[in-house]
Structure 1
Amino acid sequence: MESLTSLDFSVLSQQLQSSQGCPALWSILRHAGWSKEQAICNSHKTPENVIMNILSMLSYTRFHRHHCLPMLWSIYLKSCSLSARAFDALHAIGLLMSYKWTTIAYSNIAKTAEHAAQEAVRNHATFISHDNLNIPKRVFSMRLDNQSHFHSACAGTLWVLPDHITFPKTLNWELRETRREGSKTQYNFTEILDPNPAQHQRLRDQGVYRILRFLLESPAFVNYQERDDAVLSPPPPVNLLPCGPTHTIKQFILCTADIDEASYEGNEKRKETSINRLIPIVGDQLTVERLRGLAKYRHDDINGLERLDWLVTVNGFFHLEIAFANSLHKQYVGTSGGIGLHRAFNLLNRKGLLSTQVKGPFWHHLDEALAHIAEAHFRALWMIVGKAARLEDLLWQPPEALVLLAETIYDEYASRRALRMMQHRGEKDEFKHQSILFNSDILLYLDLHEATCMGDVGCLEDLFPYLLMRFAGGGNNKYMIEMLEIFQGLHKEWPESLKYIIRNHCWLINRTGKRNGFVPVDRAQEQNIKDLKVTYHSFGRSATLAYLTKILPAIPVLREVKKHIKWQLDTLLTRGDRHSSPAKEKDVAMYAEVILNEGWYTYEAGHTLKKSDDRAKDFVTQGTITLFQDKAIERWWNGRSFARVTQEKWLEEQ
């Protein structure tokens, strides 16, 4: 990869123009393709790249075996799905290598990546993520031996941690001991009902600051003179992961296995791996559930390899975030005549959001809509609490006053304390009650979303009790079990060294080194699957899974080649890697106006919602009942409590 991405177009063109290159020929070609009028009118469009490629084509016709530029272009255009016929045409004019050379190069890159992955496993701290991969094989002229087929496979990624990070050699045995002893006693889950004051204060500080940001980041406060005042600074992070070039993670895409993840079929590891290594595997809920199921079924096998003692499962936070968003949708969707999400989607013209989906861009659209709706609620509250007709009327307020207003909004309109105060005062206003309930929930959702982007794993842990009760109360039993497993692992079954590894390296990863460059591991795995199925699936829909498996480890190199070419050509920089967010200001202002006009936060005795479907349930309160009174914790414990065998017998020793 270094040889492919080390070719700098500007440096190469300078070398060709220098005395060691071909200055006379360069000058002739420049005058032939670049007039003085063009130099004046199109200063941003210079002929250097054109001339460089003309010289490359001339050189390639004389000697093509070690010519870097056609090789780079061949790899790049193949990764962009250029067809074989187009390859042959461009090869004929000397711009590209042949199609055969390119396919062989792909295969060699993949083999090199496999060897590098094996070397990384031997010499570096690594962990694995994997997920289900569904690839349709379609044919357009069916025969008995040429039929359409749907491949259900498993795709995995090996993540290689930076050189300065190591796993203790005794980690495998430490986990065996602590898991064996820790699984005998259940974590005292009653502790989540009364979080410690420091944790409660951190969540409050985060909520107050987020409410403050809704005001400071609004168009009305663009010219606020005191936005840099220390009083308006964010609260300190709880446990912020380090970032920078030395903390970036490397990845190797593993060969795709033709195994349906929905089944309990898998691969064995070698004896030395089971004894001397511990392998964290990160995945979505289905992945970790299947792996835990395998470990349970084989808990009394003859050795640690068979019992999967070398494996520790880690649930991914991306799918946890999706489950949170879907839970909010279920709780607040209501009807078109209420004050819930259904009506908001209609007013904001957000189509396709009335029923939850697991495929496509549904979560991205829902996440964006939830953020805009939340901002509208809090803009309305700023005007109500600040007694202002417009947000601009608050510009004269000093920073200290804005912080006090934000605290008032949180304590009286966006927290569970506000709900208890309504109940204590005997207020019967379903509009106000449900609006406060929504605010208290949406603030925590936004905290989860931002914590995963910024790498604050301490903030994630602060949200665990709330997530457990929400999933339990919302009927999301599978993710309730995942949260129960996390609590049991962190407080009972994982040694301190493993807790550090999972918190700091297996929940979130950073591939860019930027502060906001953290992503959950399972989200990065989903991005890899997209590349496997779509972006680099340039071998035709009828390509066999065996051929795809041979080629797919080359994808990380192809990514870097495309990124390198992008930064070599200015015209490619204008084409972004992602869609821009739609303009939200009109939608937010309009929805805030609806909230104000209908008086959702103005107490009115007997103000009730007409339909029962519009009355959102309190999932957190219901979750407490489900966990403790309905004995959900007891059922989970009875289903996963079993004695692990300690014997180590190997067939070759018998």
Structure 2
Amino acid sequence: MRQRRVAQPVTEATQAEAQRVWQEQHQAEAAARTEFTAAREREAEAERHATSKICVGHVLQAVKAAGYGSLYGFLDDLVTTKDQNHSSQVSQMLISHGDELLDSIRSRQPEVVSQWIGKVAGNILVEEGAKLAQHLRPPHGQSVTTTIENFALSKILADAEFIAPTVLAMVLCILAQTTNEKASEYQTTMGIYLLACGASRSQFDVLNHAGICLLYRSVLRKIKALGEERLEELRYIVKRHMFMIIWDSLNFAFRVGQQRLGSNDHFDNGTTATVVVLWGFSPGDLPSMLPVLEFSSQIDLLPTLEDVQNLEALQRYHIEEILLDAYPVLRTRFRDSISGPPSILSIPVHTTSQDLAPAMPIDESSLGGTIDVFSTIFRNTLKLTGQDIERHGVVICAGDQLSASLFDKATASRRDDVDLLDNLSRYGKEQLGIFHAKVAGTRMTVNEHWGTANSKALWSLWKINSMLGRKPMTAGWKAKKLPPFRPSYELMIDLAPPANILDGCRLFCAKGTVEKWIESVKDWDSVRFVAAKVHKELCSARNIPKLRRQPAGKRDPIYENIKLFNRDTLTLLVLRAAFKRGDIGAVLCVISHWMVMFRGTGRMPKYADAVFRVITELKSMHPKLREAYLMNWLANLTGKLLGFKEMDLLQEHQNFWLKIIYNAKGSNRTWAWLGMISVSIFALRDVIRRIPFNGKSHTNPSTATDVQRIRDHLETNKIQTFWPERENNDCAVPVRDLMEARAAYANTARAFKTFVQTPERRTAASAESDGAEEEGANYGEDLELDLGDLALDSEEFPAGIDPTDFVAMAREALAAMDDLELDENVM
């Protein structure tokens, strides 16, 4: 019987073997096809070469038959042909296949191509260098000031794209200067930049050999020329424009390398000044008659009802702004209903022009020193005569409280002098610097609300500062030194007020949390209602006397203290915003309250008297003089909205740069050097700003975490709720309502002792004795501001610039300045 054949099962091994066999067959077939294709291509290439050889031979024979002695002659005629048809064909060929032709030449003769590239590139550099040399050569007679102002690397790069596009701008500048030594715009600016940063003479030598900067001696000549140009420009300005003067003291610690008799380490006191063109007025517009101080005990001693109403309206506005900043969705939702801040008296937006006077080695902290300062400014620096002053009219002189006080004494001591320039009382009007008043107000507020260190009380500024882990600082009226300005200012402006206001919104929104209330709020009036409620219940002192009349066991001093703190810090917030937008009416509104509060401290009578005098004199001034005083109380260097700042802050910036960046170093640093540098200090600073340097970008750290930490503390401990049973309430020390504390002082005879008219002629001795009352920790005296304080000015240190890095760049270079020697022939 025939057996059936049984199929073998297919295993993975058999499948793999079949796959391998198939792949080998497929690869063999592909290799055969590739070899066949390659053979056909070789045959075709050989056939093409044979054909090309025959064609080239025929063409060469034809070229010779046409009379050309060489192939070059034919190609030269072909490329340079004037025949329109032939030229068009050649151009199309070069456009379409020029790269391939150049590559073929380079592969055939690389050395020839390299030599040709070098030769052509050299010719291009020479040609473009000559063009750039002509472009960078300053016009004949152009001043150093104009050269520096017009210099910008970005402009050189942009111009180089058209003038010399083949090389970098700096290389071309170096090449231009080696071609023509007078083409030194770049080298001049770089030299001044290096000097401003404190580069050593050896660095100048190296960089000069590289063509990057001028010789050190040449740079000194440029600096001297720059100073002379700025001084001549200043003298031109003051004889054609109304101007005011800002002045302040400048103190230097001089160190000598080798001590000798008459040449030892010493501390020098000097004075700096800035001349500002008076905006909105022309020479002769202001009357020469200065105001006589007149006051009424019924009108001038306290803020007016209008002042009180305006301040409360501004405080309510800033409560709304705090809420909108914390929750931007409200601003988006009600953008059509939100209005700007109440405006009382705003300065029109304009650009303030400032020029610096040479630093003077005169100590202005005495009556004689003040007289010498103004004699030097008017006679020696500005070269003014009595006739010039008569044509000009009143000169406003701005400074801090001490400077204003000294100026007042100087005018009193020379009141009977016949020479107009010597008799400051006939044309000089002091102006209180409100930046210094702001610093004094900040320190007044932080001292009053600081509390007791290490106290168990659940709220005080000391408690908040410690809770946030901030650097410990000294504050309080019993402290032996002044509290630092910037930490105090930030704590009371950026951290505590937003937290307190937002916690108040939580208390009065009737929704439990601000977030739930924001989700449900339907109209802007509801937001304003809550803000007004917060202001009335938590930012007003109206019911403080009633609360403090309660028996000790029923009082809540923490609640009382924070209500007064909210009022005082909102006032500070109003002042900061008023400065930025140029609302001088709001500024007057604030200082009219501070006039009483300064007196209420018992420690700041000089500032109380100074503000009292300002407010009272403004009421009796000639209308034109009052307008000039108020419209030029703030500066705007940019001409932009929200670009205003205090006039005396300009002088603080000048002193900062002169002391920190251009500080005297070594035995050769003199007041002659400082006087020359000070005139050009902002020009030199701007040079540093325009030269790129490696620095960290800087942004202000967010305050959201700190504010939330304070809010949590307020909510947990019910700080802004009346709660006499609160833990450790007995540890809290009640703060004073400074408005109430000394409001009655104005009714006393002592308040007017400085201003009472007497028939006796005031002598220098009697003038010196005025204001000699002790103020404790030097309140009202000259401020010692550091980089952190001045860095609050966002215009001086714009966003994105780390002020510390910016200054450190110059400070590191200054370490080498001890070796710098001034050439007497240059100076």
Same fold (TM over 0.5): yes
1:444 to 562, 571, 574: 571
Contact 2:475/2:483 (<8 A) preserved: no
Secondary structure, aligned partner of 2:340: coil
The 1:500/1:89 distance shift into structure 2, 3 A limit, reads same
1:534 to 650, 660, 684: 660
- Counterpart AA for 1:363: F
Aligned to 2:75: none
The 1:227/1:296 distance shift into structure 2, 3 A limit, reads farther
The 1:610/1:297 distance shift into structure 2, 3 A limit, reads farther
CA drift of 1:613 comes to 7.0
Aligned to 2:618: 490
Answer yes or no: is 1:515 the counterpart of 2:661.
no
2:403 to 287, 290, 309: 287
Aligned to 2:515: 392
Answer yes or no: is 1:248 the counterpart of 2:351.
yes
How far, CA to CA, are the matches of 1:634 and 1:192 in structure 2? 10
Aligned to 1:325: 442
Q: Which moved more, 1:381-390 or 1:421-430?
A: 421-430
- Counterpart AA for 1:157: T
CA drift of 1:298 comes to 2.7
CA drift of 1:496 comes to 0.8
Aligned to 1:382: 505
How far, CA to CA, are the matches of 1:637 and 1:520 in structure 2? 27
Answer yes or no: is 1:231 the counterpart of 2:231.
no
Aligned to 1:556: 682
Aligned to 2:754: 636
How far, CA to CA, are the matches of 1:186 and 1:22 in structure 2? 71
2:281 to 139, 160, 166: 166
Runs of 5+ unmatched residues, structure 2: 1-144, 379-384, 763-827
How far, CA to CA, are the matches of 1:416 and 1:232 in structure 2? 28
Contact 2:558/2:732 (<8 A) preserved: no
Aligned to 2:736: 617
Contact 1:509/1:521 (<8 A) preserved: yes
Aligned to 2:149: 5
1:406 to 525, 531, 538: 531
How far, CA to CA, are the matches of 2:260 and 2:202 in structure 1? 25
Contact 1:609/1:615 (<8 A) preserved: no
- Counterpart AA for 1:186: F
CA drift of 1:644 comes to 8.3
CA drift of 1:168 comes to 5.4
How far, CA to CA, are the matches of 1:156 and 1:615 in structure 2? 44
Answer yes or no: is 1:604 the counterpart of 2:723.
yes
The 1:434/1:525 distance shift into structure 2, 3 A limit, reads same
- Counterpart AA for 2:281: T
- Cα deviation code 1:556-580 (max 9, x no counterpart): 32233334x25xx5x66x756xx64
- Counterpart AA for 1:428: R
- Counterpart AA for 1:636: T
Secondary structure, aligned partner of 1:261: coil
Q: Which moved more, 1:102-111 or 1:423-432?
A: 423-432
2:304 to 186, 191, 195: 195
Secondary structure, aligned partner of 2:754: helix
**Map 1:296-311 → 2, pairs under 5 A:** 296-302=412-418, 304-308=420-424, 309-311=426-428
Q: Which moved more, 1:550-559 or 1:368-377?
A: 550-559
- Counterpart AA for 1:364: R
Aligned to 2:186: 69
How far, CA to CA, are the matches of 1:610 and 1:422 in structure 2? 15
Contact 1:300/1:644 (<8 A) preserved: no
CA drift of 1:641 comes to 5.7
Contact 1:299/1:644 (<8 A) preserved: no
How far, CA to CA, are the matches of 1:484 and 1:295 in structure 2? 19
Answer yes or no: is 1:84 the counterpart of 2:201.
yes
How far, CA to CA, are the matches of 1:81 and 1:359 in structure 2? 34
How far, CA to CA, are the matches of 1:634 and 1:520 in structure 2? 28
- Cα deviation code 1:414-433 (max 9, x no counterpart): 11334367579997322221
Aligned to 1:415: 540
How far, CA to CA, are the matches of 1:11 and 1:126 in structure 2? 34
CA drift of 1:227 comes to 4.3
- Counterpart AA for 1:278: V
Aligned to 1:351: 471
How far, CA to CA, are the matches of 2:576 and 2:610 in structure 1? 18
- Counterpart AA for 2:622: P
CA drift of 1:359 comes to 9.8
CA drift of 1:125 comes to 1.5
Aligned to 1:94: 211
Answer yes or no: is 1:373 the counterpart of 2:481.
no
Secondary structure, aligned partner of 2:337: helix
How far, CA to CA, are the matches of 2:687 and 2:759 in structure 1? 50
**Bigger Rg over Cα:** 2
CA drift of 1:77 comes to 2.3
Answer yes or no: is 1:186 the counterpart of 2:309.
no
- Cα deviation code 1:257-296 (max 9, x no counterpart): 1111212122335432454432111000110011111122
- Counterpart AA for 1:590: R
How far, CA to CA, are the matches of 1:189 and 1:478 in structure 2? 22
The 1:291/1:107 distance shift into structure 2, 3 A limit, reads same
Contact 1:454/1:515 (<8 A) preserved: yes
How far, CA to CA, are the matches of 1:252 and 1:395 in structure 2? 51
- Cα deviation code 1:11-43 (max 9, x no counterpart): 53454444xx455xx2xx5xxxxxxxxxxxxxx
- Counterpart AA for 2:217: K
- Cα deviation code 1:91-137 (max 9, x no counterpart): 11111111111111000000000001001100012100010100111
How far, CA to CA, are the matches of 1:359 and 1:517 in structure 2? 33
How far, CA to CA, are the matches of 1:436 and 1:156 in structure 2? 42
The 1:420/1:231 distance shift into structure 2, 3 A limit, reads farther
- Counterpart AA for 1:70: Q
Contact 2:541/2:564 (<8 A) preserved: yes
CA drift of 1:385 comes to 1.1
- Cα deviation code 1:118-175 (max 9, x no counterpart): 011000121000101001111233233542121100111111245xx32451634332
Contact 1:187/1:488 (<8 A) preserved: no
How far, CA to CA, are the matches of 2:664 and 2:197 in structure 1? 8
- Counterpart AA for 1:488: T
The 1:479/1:191 distance shift into structure 2, 3 A limit, reads closer
Aligned to 2:768: none
- Cα deviation code 1:332-367 (max 9, x no counterpart): 111132322111111122224223799999211210
1:135 to 229, 234, 252: 252
Runs of 5+ unmatched residues, structure 1: 30-50, 646-654
Query: In percent, how many aligned pairs have the same letter?
Result: 22
Aligned to 2:45: none
The 1:384/1:170 distance shift into structure 2, 3 A limit, reads closer
The 1:236/1:644 distance shift into structure 2, 3 A limit, reads farther
- Counterpart AA for 2:146: E
Aligned to 1:35: none
CA drift of 1:195 comes to 2.2
- Counterpart AA for 1:173: S
The 1:191/1:69 distance shift into structure 2, 3 A limit, reads closer
1:258 to 361, 371, 383: 361
How far, CA to CA, are the matches of 1:360 and 1:96 in structure 2? 46
Aligned to 1:148: 265
Contact 1:453/1:517 (<8 A) preserved: yes
